[in-house]
Amino acid sequence: MKTEFEPFRIKMVEPIRLPSAEEREAILQRAGLNLFRVPAADIVIDLLTDSGTGAMSAAQWAAMMRGDESYAGADSFERLREAVREVTGFDEPLPTHQGRASERVLFEVAGGAGRVVPNNAHFDTTRANIERTGARAVDLSIPEAADPTSRHPFKGNMDLAGLDALLAAEGARVPLVFCTITSNAAGGQPVSLENLRAARDVCRRRGVPFFLDACRFAENAWFIREREPGQRGRPVAAIAREQFDAADGAIVSAKKDGLVNIGGLLLVRDDDLRRRAGEVLITTEGYLTYGGLAGRDLDAMAVGLREVLDPDYLRYRIGTAAYVGERLLAAGIQIVEPPGGHAVYVDARRFCPHLPPERFPAQAVVVALYRLAGVRASEVGSAMVGAGGHAPLELVRLAMPRRVYTRAHLDYVIEALVELHARRDAIRGLRVVDAPASLPHFTARYAEVDPEAG
């Protein structure tokens, strides 16, 4: 049989509602043409992010009822520790409330003025948590990552020669090296096992610890299984484990492949570094066995970390973005190729060639998509950069929440984009009405500019 279907059935539903065209116009104006300012109840299909927006399974909800809320040494922590050992091989996980808390705790210990932290491509909170300690965050991705039409199978790979050169030049100023799987900044693109191990070897030779930003470790493992020579058909849990085996530590946002709405992990092999991180954790997040979470959250995470490695789930999951991406391409809409794991990125420069970067083409498409269909996407481009700066690419990100939307919902999104593309000449550019200096895209207000006004 050829029909692909969601590998679950639904026993709890949340109604969604499409506001009328007049309502949508009023909502957009009230929000200053910024979709972050639109109440979620006014969105019919919400593709703003895949972070913490997934649906938990019946097994996860059942596990929550077992939550042990003891302050120290709770059973829930023991169950989480068992799951983390099984999935990652790390023995003593430090739980945190989300990925950026793991980053803050780690860089409070390992960062500091004058230090340099390389990564294939830093996620924005990772970069911010490095830079707030006075350290410098450096991206070392392969050149293919910058080309939306390149079909390189592992566009998340690290530039190994660049890494070696940086370690040679900076020496002891590099406290650790990071590699993000999958590379979120590059569009959810995977890193091969070969590249991970080679990066690890470069770090070993130079005596620097190698860490993973492992938010999407299961999606990355699936891509390895599908695309890497010699890996085809191997158990995905074994591949996931080999990714972690290559690392001296990891940060994890469990809001992605932990399949929970809140939670994170900090994994460190070195006893001394883990002890120092644990002290920061106790001071700012919570005791070592709960780290700012409720016991029930730890139980949900323990189940999610194992559940995410189910091959039926991962085939469906990675198939979701591929389905949307390939249909958009077939309709003549350029996306970042190949489709990533957690999102599809539409190239707004090609969608709106009549709009220059200073008219925010990607934000203009985001606004037009909501106006036409009530769908929320996010801008990854010059509106996000702000302060008159230009992003290298103007992208509209369609992020896929896990186990939330069906094929029919996605067909609706595809239809809306194809329809919008057919009348893209009418999409008007934007100007900033007001925006804060830092992280402008969350709160800025925009207005549409008439074409003759330029």
264 is a site residue for ligand PLP (CB under 6 A): yes
200 is a site residue for ligand PLP (CB under 6 A): no
370 is a site residue for ligand PLP (CB under 6 A): no
DSSP per-residue codes, 30-47: HTTT-GGGS-GGG-SEE-
Q: In whole angstroms, how close is the CB of 349 to ligand PLP at the nearest point?
A: 24
DSSP per-residue codes, 351-398: H-TTS-GGG-HHHHHHHHHHHHH-EE-EEESHHHH-TT---SS-EEEE
Single residue of 90, 123, 154, 412 touching ligand PLP by CB under 6 A: 123
* 271 phi and psi angles, rounded to 5 deg: -60, -40
261 is a site residue for ligand PLP (CB under 6 A): no
Q: In whole angstroms, how close is the CB of 255 to ligand PLP at the nearest point?
A: 5
96 is a site residue for ligand PLP (CB under 6 A): no
Single residue of 24, 81, 100, 296 touching ligand PLP by CB under 6 A: 100
Quote the radius of gyration of the chain (alpha carbons, Å): 22
- Which one of 93-101, 201-209, 291-299, 402-410 is the stretch in contact with ligand PLP (CB under 6 A)? 93-101
Single residue of 125, 284, 334, 443 touching ligand PLP by CB under 6 A: 125
| Contact positions with ligand PLP (CB under 6 A) in 295-314 | none
88 is a site residue for ligand PLP (CB under 6 A): no
In Å, what is the CA distance from 362 to each residue of 383, 388, 443?
8, 15, 16
255 is a site residue for ligand PLP (CB under 6 A): yes
Binding map of ligand PLP across residues 274-293, x = CB under 6 A, - = no contact:
--------------------
Question: Would you say 290 or 360 has its CB closer to ligand PLP?
Answer: 290
Q: In whole angstroms, how close is the CB of 263 to ligand PLP at the nearest point?
A: 8
253 is a site residue for ligand PLP (CB under 6 A): yes
Question: Would you say 218 or 432 has its CB closer to ligand PLP?
Answer: 218
Q: In whole angstroms, how close is the CB of 285 to ligand PLP at the nearest point?
A: 12
410 is a site residue for ligand PLP (CB under 6 A): no
Task: Give the Cα separation of 244 and 89 in Å (integer).
Answer: 7
24 is a site residue for ligand PLP (CB under 6 A): no
397 is a site residue for ligand PLP (CB under 6 A): no
243 is a site residue for ligand PLP (CB under 6 A): no
Length of the chain: 454
Query: Closest residue to ligand PLP, Cβ-based?
Result: 99
Tokens found for residue 84: 């983390």
104 is a site residue for ligand PLP (CB under 6 A): no
Single residue of 67, 99, 190, 401 touching ligand PLP by CB under 6 A: 99
* Per-position b or e across 121-153, b if 16+ CB within 10 A of its CB: bbbebbbbbbeebebbbbbbbbebbeebeeeeb
Beta bridge partners of 78: none
Residue 14, CB half-sphere, CA atoms under 13 Å: how many?
Answer: 11
Q: In whole angstroms, how close is the CB of 212 to ligand PLP at the nearest point?
A: 10
Assign 299 to helix, strand or coil. helix
180 is a site residue for ligand PLP (CB under 6 A): yes
DSSP per-residue codes, 155-166: TT-B-HHHHHHH
Tokens found for residue 145: 């990552």
Tokens found for residue 320: 């979701």
98 is a site residue for ligand PLP (CB under 6 A): yes
195 is a site residue for ligand PLP (CB under 6 A): no
Question: Would you say 107 or 360 has its CB closer to ligand PLP?
Answer: 107
Q: In whole angstroms, how close is the CB of 433 to ligand PLP at the nearest point?
A: 28
Tokens found for residue 424: 């893209």
Are 222 and 235 contacting, i.e. CB atoms less than 8 angstroms apart?
Answer: no
231 is a site residue for ligand PLP (CB under 6 A): no
Sign, Cα dihedral of 327, 330, 336, 340: positive
Number of other residues whose CB lies within 10 A of the CB of residue 25: 13
* 450 phi and psi angles, rounded to 5 deg: -70, 145
Single residue of 34, 51, 57, 243 touching ligand PLP by CB under 6 A: 51
Spatial neighbors of 180 by CB under 8 A, at least 6 apart, are: 119, 120, 121, 122, 123, 126, 156, 191, 212, 213, 215
Spatial neighbors of 72 by CB under 8 A, at least 6 apart, are: 287, 288, 289
Q: In whole angstroms, how close is the CB of 130 to ligand PLP at the nearest point?
A: 12
Tokens found for residue 430: 């934007």
Question: Would you say 132 or 275 has its CB closer to ligand PLP?
Answer: 132
- Which one of 30-38, 123-131, 170-178, 351-359 is the stretch in contact with ligand PLP (CB under 6 A)? 123-131
Number of residues in contact with ligand PLP, rule: CB under 6 A?
Answer: 15
Question: Would you say 123 or 210 has its CB closer to ligand PLP?
Answer: 123
Give the binding site for ligand PLP (CB under 6 A).
51, 98-100, 123, 125-126, 180, 184, 213, 215, 253, 255-256, 264
